[in-house]
């Protein structure tokens, strides 16, 4: 690893200013992706800007009207311990407890997971299913981008030079809604999703009135499949309906073969994991809440 300079701005304007003068700087949240990449030589850096000292990036706030705001640098362990998240977004607690292990969760952030923009990122399909948006700050001020449009290629995203992620905003859960993220790994921990599936479902009088489905590890970016969710609209959440939606998601996938699984196996898993994620989301929506 090459030597680099380090800065830790204490405010958002300071960070934006620093970034403007050092457009090639690397941003550091938990560092569980970045430091690994720097050490292995996959990335290098002259300047590293630590965003953990910026107050706005460390906030968690929830209110029933606006929903949930998660600062970009909030580590996973704070999400899993948060009472509001536990009661309104159980799937988010699960994802935050699956990323890495206990030590990793002490540092790893959802902001880092999103900005690292890996096709296999575990939180992104769920954020897409939950209809989350990314709040971005930069030289030209602030803007919002839906998470389902955020990633553009492996390791690439909508952030322009000089921009940084401030927070992730998730709408308040609708009544009778539920969400889930399931990933397939051959082991029970410490693995990268062979296929991951996120799903959300809203029921109105037992009929599906909204549904979103997204996948990880089956395309160059986490993959939002609007048609899968749309196929469920105005349907009862029957086994056949969920199965059909899963098949649509499977069709949309374009997996590759690598050391984590063959394309054929991944394609097979798409249908299984989406169906199971939908089943869990429906079960959660049906719980009295």
Partner 1 sequence: MSTTTYNVIGTRPVRHDGADKVTGRALYGADLQLARMIHGAVLRSPHAHARILRIDTSKAEAFPGVFAVVTAADFPEAPADKIVDFGEGDTMLSSLRGNILASGKVLYSGHAVAAVAAVNAHVAAEAAALIEVDYEPLPCVLTAPEAMAPGAPILHDDLPNGNVAELIRYEMGDLDAGFAEATVIVERELDTATVHQGYIEPQNATAFWSSDGRIHIWCSTQGSFVARDASAAVLDVPVSQVKVTPMEIGGGFGGKINVYLEPVAAMLSKKAGRPVKLVMSRRDVFTGTGPTPGSRVRVKIGVNDAGKITAAQAWLAYEAGAYPGAMVGPGAMTVFACYDIPNVLIEGFDVVVNKPSTAAYRAPGAPNSALATETVLDEIAEKLGLDPLELRLRNAAQEGTRRADGPRYKRIGCIEVLEAMKASPHYNAPLPGPNCGRGVAIGFWFNAGLPSSATLSVNADGTVNLIEGSTDIGGSRTSLSMQAAEVLGLRAEDIHPTIVDTDSVGYTGVTGGSRTTFSTGLAVHDAAQIVVEQMKARAARLWAVDEVAFSNGVFSANGQSFTFAELAAQLGATGGPVSCSATVNPKGVGGSIAGLIIDVKVDPETGKTDVLRVTSVQDAGKAIHPAYVEGQMQGGTAQGIGWALNEEYFMDTAGDMRNGSYLDYRMPTALDLPMIETIIVEVPNPGHPFGVRGVGEANIVPPLAAVANALYRATGKRLNRVPMNPATILGL
Ligand X SMILES: Cc1cc2nc3c(=O)[nH]c(=O)nc-3n(C[C@H](O)[C@H](O)[C@H](O)COP(=O)(O)OP(=O)(O)OC[C@H]3O[C@@H](n4cnc5c(N)ncnc54)[C@H](O)[C@@H]3O)c2cc1C
**CB closer to partner 1, 38 vs 168:** 38
Q: Which residue, among 127, 102, 106, 119, has the nearest Cα to 189 in the 3D structure?
A: 102
From the list partner 1, ligand X, none, partner contacted by residue 112 (C-beta under 5 to 8 A by kind): ligand X
**How far apart are the C-alpha atoms of 127 and 214, rounded to whole Å?**
9
Question: 2 to 61, contacts with partner 1 by CB under 8 A?
Answer: 2-3, 40
**Among the residue ranges 48-56, 74-82, 184-192, 238-246, the one whose residues contact partner 1 (CB under 8 A):** 184-192
Would you count residue 192 as binding partner 1 (CB under 8 A)?
yes
Q: Cα separation of 20 and 66, whole Å?
A: 31
Helix (H, G, I), strand (E, B) or coil at 27: strand
Q: Which of 10, 21, 187, 240 binds partner 1 (CB under 8 A)?
A: 187
Exposure of 10 by Cβ count < 10 A (0-12 exposed, 13-18 middle, 19+ buried)? exposed
Name residue, tokens 């906030």.
59
Taking the complex as a whole, the smallest distance from the CB of residue 229 to partner 1 amounts, in Å, to 22
Q: Which listed option, ligand X, partner 1, none, makes contact with residue 83 (CB within 5 to 8 Å by class)?
A: none
Site string for partner 1, 256-275 (x = CB under 8 A): --xxxxx-xx--xx--x---
Contact residues: ligand X, CB under 6 A: 26-34, 36, 51, 72, 98-100, 104, 107-109, 111-113, 115-116, 121-122, 159, 164-165
| Distance between CA atoms of residues 56 and 58, nearest Å | 5
Please choose, from the candidates 116, 84, 82, 83, the residue with its C-alpha nearest in 3D space to the C-alpha of residue 100.
116
**Residue number, nearest CB to ligand X:** 112
């Amino acid at each position: 690893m090459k030597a680099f300079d380090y800065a830790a701005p204490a405010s958002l304007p300071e960070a934006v200013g620093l970034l403007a003068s050092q457009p090639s700087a690397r941003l550091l949240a938990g560092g569980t992706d970045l430091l690994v990449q720097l050490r292995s030589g996959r990335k290098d850096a002259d300047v590293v800007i630590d965003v953990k000292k910026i107050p706005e990036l460390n906030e968690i706030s929830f209110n029933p009207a606006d929903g949930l705001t998660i600062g970009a640098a909030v580590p996973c362990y704070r999400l899993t311990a948060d009472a509001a998240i536990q009661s309104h977004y159980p799937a988010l607690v699960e994802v935050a407890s699956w990323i890495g292990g206990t030590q990793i969760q002490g540092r790893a952030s959802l902001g880092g997971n999103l900005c690292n923009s890996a096709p296999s990122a575990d939180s992104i399909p769920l954020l897409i299913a939950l209809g989350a948006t990314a709040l971005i700050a930069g030289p030209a001020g602030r803007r919002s981008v839906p998470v389902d449009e955020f990633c553009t290629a492996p390791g690439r995203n909508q952030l322009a030079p000089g921009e940084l992620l401030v927070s992730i905003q998730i709408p308040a859960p609708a009544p009778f809604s539920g969400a889930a993220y399931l990933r397939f790994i051959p082991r029970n921990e410490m693995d990268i999703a062979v296929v991951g599936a996120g799903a959300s479902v809203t029921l109105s009088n037992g009929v599906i009135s909204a549904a979103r489905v997204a996948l990880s590890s089956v395309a160059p970016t986490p993959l939002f499949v609007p048609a899968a969710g749309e196929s469920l609209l105005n349907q009862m959440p029957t086994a056949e309906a969920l199965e059909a939606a899963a098949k649509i998601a499977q069709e949309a996938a374009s997996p590759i073969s690598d050391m984590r699984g063959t394309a054929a196996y991944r394609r097979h898993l798409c249908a299984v994991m989406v169906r199971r994620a939908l089943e869990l989301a429906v079960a959660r929506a049906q719980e009295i809440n």
